[in-house]
Amino acid sequence: EIVLTQSPGTLSLSPGERATLSCRASQSVSSSYLAWYQQKPGQAPRLLIYGASSRATGIPGRFSGSGSGTDFTLTISRLEPEDFAVYYCQQYGSSLLTFGGGTKVEIK
């Protein structure tokens, strides 16, 4: 089973700042089957990024994903008030899917 470790656990930033979230895998993630989700309190998760770097439909350009192998990054170029939320990375292994523990982006 591939374990995903997200860091930091909490990121305290101000609107307009850049957010950099890390997701590290215990083994190489095949074919960059790595996705990122945003979740706000009381809501279902929302797909942001798939294939490590492709934005999902309707996702603003300030969200970008990068990385390969075992190290992946989600970057929010300039935080908007609605971006303060919890972010999860997720990978598809061989018939098995796992999530990271999440990074909370909070207002400083």
Integer Cα distance of 63 and 8 in angstroms: 18
Q: Among positive and negative, which fits the CA dihedral 101, 98, 84, 73?
A: positive
95 makes contact with other proteins (CB under 8 A): yes
Nearest residue to 105 (alpha-carbon basis) of 60, 49, 38, 59: 38
From the list 12-20, 72-80, 98-106, the region that binds other proteins by CB under 8 A is 98-106
Closest distance of CB 78 from other proteins, Å:
24
Within 49-78, the residues that bind other proteins by CB under 8 A are 49-51, 56-57
What is the rounded distance in angstroms from the CA atom of residue 100 to the CA atom of residue 70?
13
Give contact residues for other proteins (rule: CB under 8 A). 1, 31, 33, 35, 37, 39, 44-47, 49-51, 56-57, 88, 90, 92, 95-102
